[in-house]
Structure formats: C-alpha cells, structure tokens
Amino acid sequence: MVLEAARRYAAVAPATAPVVSARGLGLVFAAGGESTVALDSIDLDIARGAFVALIGPSGCGKTTLLRAIADLEQPSSGTLRVNGVSTAEARRARAYGYVFQAPALYPWRTIERNVMLPLEIMGLAKAEREARARRYLDLVGLGAFRRRFPWQLSGGMQQRASIARALSFEPALLLMDEPFGALDEITRDGLNLHLHDLWRRTGMSVVFVTHSIPEAVYLSTRIVVMSPRPGRIAAVIDNDLPVERPLDLRETPEFLRLAHRVRAALRAGHSYD
Amino acid sequence: MIRLRAAAPLLLVLGMLCVLWYGAAVWLNLDQARALADDGASARAIVLATFALDRPLLPAPHQILFELLRSSLFYPPDSPRSLLHHTWVTAETALAGFALALCFGTALALAIVRFRVLDRSLMLWIIASQTVPVLAIAPMVVVVLGNLGFTGLLPKALIAGWLSFFPVTIGMAKGLRSPDPMQRDLLRTYCASEAQVFRLLRLPASIGFLFPSVKLAASLALVGAIVAELPTGAQAGLGARLLTGSYYGQTMQIWAALVMAAMLAMAAIALIDLAQAMLRRQRGGRL
C-alpha cells in the first residue's frame, strides 16, 4: 500500500513525466453477443505541454481513446495513466477539461452560468466563479454575450462557450473531441487560430481528435495517425512547423509536405475492403 | 383589436353552444311545460314556458346563470346555502390533494429514476392503482380513516391525491430521464456527485416536461375532491351540492355546481399557465 502510494507520487512529481501514458491498451465493446475491438495494443506517451492531434477515419477509435483517457470508457486490457495515476483518480482530481463534439450547454442556463457550472460543482466561491466566467468568456471573445441563452447564439459561439467552460477550472490537460466538426470552414479557421493562440499562452497539454488533415497539421506539435478495425496507431508524425502559425502557413510547401505525409500514413492504414 | 380577433372563435363556439342548448331545453322540457300549461295556451307560450320551469329536465343557460349568481351572492359566504362556501370546501380539498400528488408523485419519480429495480417492480403497481375504481373505495377510505381518528380534510385529500399523482409520476420520470448522454458525460468529467446530477441537470431538465402533467393532475384532483365528497355524508362541497340536487330533483342546483366546478378547473389551469409563463421568462423565453 505504502509502496503503491509512494510510486504514485513519484510518478506525479517529475515535470518531464508524460501527461498521458498508454501501454498495450485494448478496449473491446461487447453488445448482444457480438464484440467490437475499438482499440488494440495502443502505446502512446503525451508529453507535458504538447498539442497532440489524433486523426483517422471514422471508426478508428480516436474518440474511444479520448474517452478512455477521460475515464468515460473502461479499457479491457493494458494500462492507461493520466498524470501518473489511474484515469479514475485523474478524473476525481479534475485533471482535465473535456470539450465534446456538440457544445452540450444546458439550455436553461445563461452562457455565463453554463461556464460557472463546473466551478459550482467544485465548490468555488460566488465571486471567484463570476470572475472566472468573465475572464474566460472574454478570452474566447464572448464577453458581450454573457447573459444570453445558448440557443440565442450561433453554433460557433456555442462551441466557444463550451471551450470557456472547459477552461474555467484551469485544467492542465484539455481533451477535445472534434470540437469544430459541425462548424463551417470560416468559423473553423477562426477557432483554430484562437485555439492555437490559447494553447501557446496557457502552456497546457491538449489532445485533439479530428478527421481534418489541415486542422491536425495546423494545430499540433505531434500527429497520431490511427487506422480502423481494429483501432491501432498507424504512425506518429512530429510536427516541426514554427510555433508562430498564421492562417496562411497552410499554403506553404512545408505545411503541404507534412499534410501529404499524414495523408500517406492515413492511406497506408486504411483498407477499403 | 388583436384581443378581439383571439376571442372571436371562442365567442362563436359559445354562441353556437347556447343556441343548441336552448333547442335541447325546448325538446327535453316540452312534455312538462305542456302538462303545466293552461288549456288553449299558444305554442309560443308553451315554448317560452320550457325556459322558466322550476325543476326543468334541462335548465336553460340563463336559468343556470341566474341560479349561479343567486346562490353565490344572496347568502353570506360562510352560510351552508352559499355556493361560494361549497366551492371553497372543494377547492381546499382539491388543493390539498394536488399538493399531496405533487409531493408523492415527484418522490416516486425520483425513486424510479434512481433505482432501476423500482422501475420494474413498482411501475406495475402504480398502473394497477389507477385501475381501481376510486368511487368504489372512497367510502372505505373515509370509514377506515374515520375509525383511526382522521376526519374532515385528510381522507378527502387522500382520495384526490390518489386520483392525481399518476400523471405527475409519469411526466416527472420522463423529464428526469430526458438529459442526453453528452449532458450526463459532462457532469461525469467534473466528477459531480449524484445529488449534484439531480439538482443541476435532471431536475431543471424535467420542469419543461412537468407542466402538461401538472395541468392534468390539477383537474384530476378536482374530480377526486368532488368524488370524495359524495360518500362523506355530503355535508359540504360541490360534490354534496350535486348529490343533494339529484336527491331533490334540483337540476338548476346541479348545473350551477357543475359550472362552478368547470370554472374552478379553468382557474387552476390559468394559474399553472401563469407559473409556466413566469418560468419561461426566467429562462429567456424558452422552457
């Protein structure tokens, strides 16, 4: 017991330890006698402060992997540690903020009170809740829409509000599941720019699920390419584009070369039969 | 102008109903009017007489209206002859029964949603409880509780509550289950306690579902209150007025009590609508 606890703290302590660490991770969904292998022998380390994009075709298990990190799904085999502890402990310690595919705002709460929801659950004082809601709504550019209700805002604004909500309790790890998937191209560009800027300023670690190659290349420091049936890691590509990333970086030869490598890795991992 | 346009269809239906009603009154009261008429009375006089009988089979609308006003206004409100007195007795019972139904129905829904076992084991009994003819067991409830020393409001409120808790339970259970998986996963990522999930997600999500069932429960509580008054010796209440009216052939008294009951139900629905509108405003215009 004591040894176990000591080991846990030793694992938390060094700043160089990975935020997420998976070894031989497998996850099988069993339903009605049939079982689907969603994840198969995943080995992955995500370094502190990294921006990791998980990319792959539908059904490759990228969302499942993210949900497993968040302790929303339980692995069937292997180990998965977040901040050196089990995913359940990490969730109890409120180690991460999660942004879903849809904004998942509560329609009976104003935008401001939606952002304050996690703070209310975590028991912060009212003044602090209000200050944080204001700060993070300003950060995502929604300061003027505090008192509106979710359905009075556009889809992009709603998703920005949900990002402010995930940031409000200042987690060191942000898990994002295709957050901009349902948005139009122009809104998406704006939010990508915004998110990259946010990541640089806060220094948090981000795991970002997407099926858009340009988005993955534009945002990340590292791209994890996954292949379906069973969900496996096909390739890990380091992204050495400069930290400064204006939107027109996407037309440069370096960007296109990297995008090409990702596409090739996707094609290699994807069989159409 | 807009108000008038909204009221026009309502008034049209009311007018048509009146015409039909007067026609039916002539038809149903004709034999009695003819028997009471002097020999050689004109047809016109006989038809007019059908609207002015003391104990008509079907009183004409103006007779009901007059009886309603007479029995409401000509006696002090605490007199047993005052219709207002009886209305208040029934309203009190219905209100108490409605409050019981809200509490019990909500508690039952919370239990059913929280414990899956209860959903399977209790639901059948809840449905069975609604198939019991309340009119048949109401006297037993009153007698048994009377022997235990409970008289007056409580037995009647229990019967009204029995009749009205079911829609509250069903509506509430449906509302409590309405949050989608993503809304629930969100609270899981915050490691919210079960009490917090109920308070912050399930309860606020259920309120929009609750209003239709609450309206149904309110009118059922009124029916329950009237039914509960029948076996209690018919001392007071609209139910008592219906019973004594039918004993003594006072059809106008019966109809006045029925109209009063209908107005009571409409008032209850209007109050619930008001609460709904206030909540909607608080939520920015959407429930």
For residue B141, tell me if it sits in a domain. yes
**Domain enclosing residue B149, as ranges:** 83-282
Among A147, A170, A193, the domain-final residue is A170
Q: What is the mean pLDDT of chain B?
A: 89
Of the pLDDT bands very low, low, confident and very high (cuts 50, 70, 90), residue B260 is very high
Of A102, A118, A152, the CB nearest to B284: A152
Angstrom distance (rounded) from CA A89 to CA A253: 44
Structural domain includes residue A125: yes
Specify the residue for token string 């019973």.
Answer: B243
> Is the model's pLDDT at B9 over the cut of 70?
yes
| b/e burial code for range B99-134 (CB count within 10 A of at least 16 → b) | ebbbebbbebbbebbeeeeeeeeeeeebeeeeeeeb
> Is residue A250 situated within a structural domain?
yes
Residue A213, in any domain of the structure: yes
- In chain A, the percentage of residues whose pLDDT exceeds 70 is 93
- Token pair, residue B100, equals 């019981």
A188 pLDDT more than 90: no
Residues A30, A163 within the same domain: no
> B204 contacts in A (CB within 8 Å)?
106, 108
Same domain for A90 and A203, yes or no, is yes
Looking up tokens 């998986």 gives B181
pLDDT of residue A28 exceeding 70: yes
Q: Is residue B222 part of a domain?
A: yes
Residue A9 scores a pLDDT above 50: no
Task: Write the pLDDT tens digit of every residue in A96-113.
Answer: 999 999 999 999 999 999
In a domain, B66, yes or no: no
Q: Residue A217: its pLDDT value, please?
A: 94
| pLDDT at B186 > cutoff 60 | yes
**Residues B39, B89: one domain?**
no
Distance CA A99, CA A210 (A): 12
Query: Both A182 and A266 in a single domain?
Result: yes
Return the pLDDT at B2.
Answer: 57
Q: How many folded domains does chain B comprise?
A: 2
* Per-residue DSSP letter, A238: E
Tokens found for residue A110: 């104003």
Which residues in B143-173 are b (16+ Cβ under 10 Å) and which e? eebeeeeeeeebbbbbbbbbbbbbbbbbbbb
B210 contacts chain A (CB < 8 A) = no
Residue B11 within any structural domain of the chain: yes
Does residue A144 fall inside a structural domain?
yes
Structure confidence by residue, pLDDT tens digits, A191-214 = 899 889 889 888 899 999 998 999
In a shared domain, residues B40 and B163: no
End-of-domain residue from the set A148, A170, A192: A170
Residue tagged 């060191």 (tokens): A172
- B54 & B125 share domain: no
Domain-embedded: residue A100: no
pLDDT score of B127: 85
Nearest to B142 by CA among B131, B151, B129: B151
Are residues B97 and B157 located together in one domain of the fold?
A: yes
Contacting residues of B for A112, CB less than 8 Å apart: none
What is the pLDDT confidence band of residue B174, given thresholds at 50, 70 and 90?
very high
| Range B102-110 average pLDDT | 94
The pLDDT score that the predictor gives to residue A271 is 58
Q: Examine the domain organization and report whether B88 and B52 are in the same domain.
A: no
CB distance from A154 to chain B under 8 Å?
no
The answer on pLDDT for A10 being more than 80 is no
Q: Are residues B246 and B181 in the same domain?
A: yes
B286/A97 CB distance under 8 A: no
Structure tokens at B73: 């206004």
Question: How crowded is residue A234: how many other Cβ atoms within 10 Å of its Cβ?
Answer: 18
Pair (B21, B120) in one structural domain: no
CB count within 10 Å of CB B252 equals 21
Compute the mean pLDDT over every residue in chain A, rounded to the nearest whole number.
Answer: 87
Count how many domains chain A has. Answer: 2
Q: Please indicate if any CB of chain B lies within 8 Å of the CB of A117.
A: yes
**Contact criterion met (CB < 8 Å) for B205 and A108:** yes
The Cα B195–Cα A72 span in angstroms is 19
pLDDT tier for residue B232 given thresholds of 50, 70 and 90:
low
Residue B193's pLDDT is 92
pLDDT of residue B234: 59
Whether residues A197 and A273 share a domain: the answer is: yes
The dihedral built from the CA positions of residue B102, B107, B108 and B110, taken in this order, carries a sign that is: positive
pLDDT for B10 equals: 86
B185 in the same domain as B109: yes
Q: Is there a domain that residue A11 lies in?
A: no
Same domain, B112 and B233: yes
Same domain, B47 and B110: no
CATH of the domain at A70: 3.40.50.300
Residue in chain A closest to B283 (alpha carbons) equals: A108
B219 and B146, same domain (yes or no): yes
Task: Supply the CATH number for residue B221's domain.
Answer: 1.10.3720.10
Closest-CA residue in chain B for A114?
Answer: B200
Query: Domain range holding A136?
Result: 106-170
- Contact between chains at B204 and A118 (C-beta distance less than 8 A): no
Give which of B191, B200, B207 to mutate to test A binding, by max A Cβ within 10 Å: B191
Is there a contact between A99 and A163 (Cβ–Cβ < 8 Å)?
yes
Q: What is the pTM of this model?
A: 0.81
Average pLDDT of the residues in B268-281: 93
B185, B190, B283: residue with CB nearest A94? B190
- The confidence score (pLDDT) of residue A11 equals 44
If asked whether residues A223 and A269 sit together in one domain, one would say: yes
Minimum mean pLDDT among A226-240, B80-94, B136-150: which range? B136-150
- Choose the mutation target among A96, A108, A114 for the interface with B, i.e. most B CBs under 10 Å: A108
**pLDDT tens-digit series, residues B14-58:** 999 999 999 999 999 988 888 888 878 888 888 888 888 888 889
- The length of chain A is 273
Q: Does B179 share its domain with B262? A: yes
- Which tokens hold the place of B30? 């004709």
Specify whether A216 is located in the same domain as A160: no
Per-residue pLDDT tens digits for A131-170: 999 999 988 889 999 999 999 999 889 999 999 999 898 8
Residue A208 lies in a domain: yes
Pairing of strands A232-238, A77-82: unpaired
Identify whether B63 is part of a domain. Answer: no
